[in-house]
Amino acid sequence: MAANEVHLNDVGTVFVVTVKDDTTAVDISAATTKQIIFMAPDGGKLTKAATFTTNGTDGKMQWTTVANDLDEPGTWKIQGKVVLTAGTWYTDISTFVVEGNL
């Protein structure tokens, strides 16, 4: 299986989002809210509480899929959101494809 393949109803797939200012990772270690927002092909949104990949100083946070997260094949969107004392920020929106199964 290729590293970027995601399939319908996969459980245990780790999605990592990096919060950046231009091309530089932002220290999010003091974030009071860390979320990863998924948008399914039908427009439905799924918001998950993220955890730090390490300690947050590298700007990275992650979510590991559980049952019923990836419940629709097609092109999905993903975006990170963090709340720090200085404000609320969102990452760029990325896309990924959820492939169907037999």
Q: What is the pLDDT of residue 1?
A: 44
15's tokens: 């999605």
Residue 92 lies in a domain: yes
The two most distant CA atoms of the chain are separated, in Å, by 48
**Residues 46 and 29 sit within 8 Å (Cβ to Cβ):** no
- Number of domains, the chain: 1
Which residues span the domain enclosing 90?
6-97
CATH of the domain at 36: 2.60.40.10
Q: Is residue 1 part of a domain?
A: no
DSSP, collapsed to helix, strand or coil, labels residue 86 as: coil
Low-confidence ranges of the chain (pLDDT < 70): 1-4
Examine residue 102 and state whether it is found in any structural domain, yes or no. no
Classify residue 21 by burial, with Cβ atoms within 10 Å: 0-12, 13-18, 19+.
Answer: exposed
